[in-house]
Amino acid sequence: MTMMTQMTKMKRRMATLLMGGAVLASLSGLSFAADAKQQTLTGQVGDAMCGHSHMMPGKNEAECTRACIKEGSNYALIVGDKVYVLKGKTDGLDAFAGKTATVTGTLKGQTMTVSTVAEAK
């Protein structure tokens, strides 16, 4: 067997291994998506830029949140020392700005894709 033939076979094997790895990686991603569960968190509705500390002088938490949202920030749910960015169904969050709300959705890292929002009880 010539050196060139050996190199060609090695390249094919590497390509096969890489393809197999890519298939496994994509399948594992699908299983994580299938395992995602709805979670419910209760906290204060704010914005992702300010988080725990609202920075606009002379504005309360609700006013600051609304102003930051208008400037392009995302809504956030502040729960204890954590700030969760809210995505998905965020249209009704303006009414909860600065208030405590219960949010249900899919949590991935520090981002929650919102399904429902309700007044905290």
Looking at per-residue pLDDT, the higher value among 71 and 29 belongs to 71
Write the pLDDT tens digit of every residue in 43-93. Answer: 999 999 999 888 888 889 999 999 999 999 999 999 999 999 999 999 899
Q: How many CB atoms lie within 10 A of CB 42?
A: 13
Flag whether pLDDT at 14 surpasses 90. no
User: What would be the CATH architecture of the domain defined by 38-119?
Assistant: Beta Barrel (2.40)
Q: Which 3-state string (H, E, C) describes the chain? A: CCHHHHHHHHHHHHHHHHHHHHHHHHHHHHHHHHHCCEEEEEEEEEECCCCCCCCCCCCCHHHHHHHHHHCCCCEEEEECCEEEEEEECCHHHHHHECCEEEEEEEEECCEEEEEEEEECC
Looking at per-residue pLDDT, the higher value among 76 and 23 belongs to 76
Task: Give me the phi and psi of 37, to 5 degrees please.
Answer: -120, 155
Q: 41, 79 in Cβ contact below 8 A?
A: yes
